[in-house]
Amino acid sequence: MHIDLTKGDIKRQIKKMAIPASVGFFFHTMFNVTDTYFAGMISTQALSALTLSFSIFFMMIAFAGGMSEAVTALVGNALGEKDKDKALHIALNALLFALLLSCVLTLIGLSSAPYLMSLLGAEGAYLSEALAYINIILYASVFFVLSFFINALLNAVGDTVSFRNVLIFTAIVNIFLDYWFVLGGLGIAPMGIKGIALATVIAEFITFLYLFYRVRMTPLLQSYSAFYVDKNVFAALLKQGLPPTTNMVLMAAGIYIITYFAAPYGKEVVAAFGIGMRIEQIILMPAIGLNVAVLAIVSQNNGAKEFERIAQALKLALYYGLLVSLLGMVLLIGGAQDLMRLFSNDANVIKEGTLYLRIEAFILFSFVVIFVNLAMLQGIEKPAFIFYISLFRQIIAPILLLSFFSFLGLGVIWIWLGIAAIVTLSALITWQYSKEKLLEMSLSQK
């Protein structure tokens, strides 16, 4: 299967790719939502421990997701050039790169997790519970990394349906496994938070097997006879992948920083932040689908030098993102409290999470602007800006602003308001920069 995205109706192509991708990522997020629900059944401490683990887990996913975006961009550009041999060569080297990356992430994660969690105030049983979850995940990192890279290959040929299908299936499997492993039964004793991690790993292994089967049916893995390790492909992956990887790693670091400043307000605030992030991720699923569609469409059209189609794709994606953001805003403002009650019966957790979600409701479109424009820059192979905006949005601005609020002794609401202001400013900067790059491309074509 190979969809030529350099021709045809862009509106139809965006919908055809973004909708399955959004559905897929929705069910991928349901992993986190399901895990959050069952952690809440164990205890508030387990829920808080899961939130601490999430920042480290997300760092691993950040490397896998960021580097896999480079795979989509490079393979998509090769397909846009109508050079299938080049695309196949890049694909095979990318999978080898993924194996090496997973080994490095496992070693770094296992050695650093105890220290990082202790910085957040975890100790004793609290620390042990958090490590019990994250260590199992880290040992299985190869399945997470390979799944991201293989799905990136499928995205490059226009297939977002396979990812959707397997994630629907494994999200359901994960519910049953969480129930079984957490509560026990059929010869298995209750495993607590370890059971949540084990269920996720099994589901991810199924995802890896199915996606590999699907990519074998594309032109990208039709032959291995001409394979050789190409340091130039590795270099291209690093050059193209490091900015979006840094973006996602900094996003993970940003979650860690926010958690650091929220932790002094108590475990209830940390737990509320963890639940709020999961709910926010669900609301933003269509935006992530648009990100996937824009990256694939822009990559192929950049390779084919069809620059007008790139501008058209960006404009349509932002329009669809605005509609989704308005719907999400209404849902979060009106239903934040009810959504929080789905995951916790702790009155303080519900109260703090409701506050967080109602503030986040007003910056949903800012996230859309950032996601879509950064995908466009990645697709035209101009990813350097991603590093700078991420460094500002995730690290520099939060540390400076939240440290100032902490010094003044302000309440937790100022953490959420500060983050909202930073995201809004970052969206404006990203939009302006992308507009300038599109203008440059347009002038160079004339």
Separate counts of helices (H) and strands (E) for the chain: 16, 0
Residue 21: pLDDT over 70: yes
User: Taking the CB of residue 115, how many other CB atoms lie within 10 A of it?
Assistant: 8
- What does the block give as tokens for 153? 């290959």
CB 260 within 8 A of CB 403: no
Query: Which has the closest alpha carbon to 101: 71, 42, 146, 154?
Result: 146
CB 161 within 8 A of CB 153: no
CB 248 within 8 A of CB 66: yes
- If you average pLDDT over residues 195-204, what whole number do you get? 86
Per DSSP, 265 falls in state G
CB 337 within 8 A of CB 207: no
Kindly indicate the confidence band of residue 418, based on its pLDDT and cuts at 50, 70 and 90.
Answer: very high
Give residue 349's identity as a one-letter amino acid code.
V
The helix (run of H) or strand (run of E) holding residue 344 is: none
- If you average pLDDT over residues 202-221, what whole number do you get? 86
C-alpha 122/C-alpha 124 separation (Å) is 7
pLDDT given at position 253: 77
- What does the block give as tokens for 199? 């269920």
Residue 120: pLDDT over 70: no
CB 366 within 8 A of CB 389: no
The string over 202-228, giving b where at least 16 C-beta atoms fall within 10 Å of a residue's C-beta and e elsewhere, is bbbbbbbebbeebbeebebbeeeeeee
pLDDT given at position 254: 81
Per-residue DSSP letters for 104-118? Answer: HHHHHHHHHHHHHHH
Residue 429: pLDDT over 90: yes
- If you average pLDDT over residues 249-258, what whole number do you get? 78
| Helices of type H across 216-265 | 231-262
Residue 5: pLDDT over 80: no
Q: Average per-residue pLDDT in the chain?
A: 81
Query: Which has the closest alpha carbon to 39: 358, 267, 292, 363?
Result: 267
pLDDT given at position 443: 65
- Describe the crossing of helices 307-341 and 364-379 by its angle, rounded to 10 degrees: 150
pLDDT, tens digit (0-9, with 9 covering 90-100), for 345-396: 888 888 888 888 999 999 999 999 998 888 888 777 777 788 888 889 988 9
- The mean-pLDDT minimum among 98-107, 240-249, 258-267, 333-342 falls in 240-249
End-to-end CA distance of the chain: 34
C-alpha 285/C-alpha 27 separation (Å) is 9
CA atoms within 13 A on the CB side of 412: 23
- The mean-pLDDT minimum among 69-73, 223-227, 381-385 falls in 223-227
- What does the block give as tokens for 13? 């192509």
- If you average pLDDT over residues 259-271, what whole number do you get? 82
Q: Which of 229-238, 258-267, 325-334 holds the top average pLDDT?
A: 325-334
Percentage of the chain modeled with pLDDT above 70: 93
Residue 388 lies inside a defined structural domain of this protein:
yes
Kindly indicate the confidence band of residue 442, based on its pLDDT and cuts at 50, 70 and 90.
Answer: low
Question: 276 lies in which domain range?
Answer: 10-445
Residue 54: pLDDT over 80: no
Residue 3 lies inside a defined structural domain of this protein:
no
Residue 148: pLDDT over 70: yes
Residue 5 lies inside a defined structural domain of this protein:
no
Residue 397 lies inside a defined structural domain of this protein:
yes
Residue 4 lies inside a defined structural domain of this protein:
no
pLDDT given at position 365: 93
Residue 214 lies inside a defined structural domain of this protein:
yes
Domain count, the chain: 1
Residue 330 lies inside a defined structural domain of this protein:
yes
- If you average pLDDT over residues 244-257, what whole number do you get? 76
Give residue 28's identity as a one-letter amino acid code.
H
CB 224 within 8 A of CB 95: no
Per DSSP, 82 falls in state T
C-alpha 142/C-alpha 332 separation (Å) is 36
Per-residue DSSP letters for 153-213? Answer: HHHHTT--HHHHHHHHHHHHHHHHHHHHHHH-BTTB---THHHHHHHHHHHHHHHHHHHHH
pLDDT given at position 406: 86
Residue 329: pLDDT over 60: yes
pLDDT given at position 420: 92
C-alpha 144/C-alpha 138 separation (Å) is 9
Residue 141 lies inside a defined structural domain of this protein:
yes
Kindly indicate the confidence band of residue 123, based on its pLDDT and cuts at 50, 70 and 90.
Answer: low
C-alpha 10/C-alpha 19 separation (Å) is 14
C-alpha 372/C-alpha 98 separation (Å) is 25
- Among left, alpha and beta (phi > 0; psi -120 to 50; other), residue 305 is left
